[in-house]
Structure 1
Amino acid sequence: MGTSATDVSKAVWRTSSYTNGENGDCVEVADGLVGVVPVRDSTRRDGPVLVMSAAAWAPFVAGLKAR
Structure 2
Amino acid sequence: MNTPVPTRPIWRKSSYSGGHEGDCVEVADLNGRIGIRDSKNLTAGHLTLTREAFTTLLTHLTSRP
Q: Where on the TM-score scale, by shorter chain, does this alignment land: which range?
A: 0.7 to 0.9
Which stretches of structure 1, 4 residues or longer, exceed 6 Å deviation after superposition? none
Contact 1:23 1:43 in 2 (8 A): no
Are 1:54 and 2:44 an aligned pair? no
Tell me the number of residue pairs that the alignment of Structure 1 and Structure 2 aligns: 58
Pick from 27, 44, 47: which aligns with 2:25? 27
Higher helix share: 2
Name the TM-score, length of structure 1 as normaliser. Answer: 0.71
CA RMSD of aligned residues (A): 1.8
One-letter code aligned to 1:42: S
**Which residue of structure 2 lines up, in the alignment, with residue 5 of structure 1?**
none
The unaligned stretches of length 5 or more in structure 1 are 1-8
**Which residue of structure 2 lines up, in the alignment, with residue 63 of structure 1?**
60
* Identical amino acids, percent of aligned pairs: 40
Are 1:13 and 2:11 an aligned pair? yes
Structure number with greater Rg is 2
The unaligned stretches of length 5 or more in structure 2 are 1-6
Name the TM-score, length of structure 2 as normaliser. Answer: 0.72
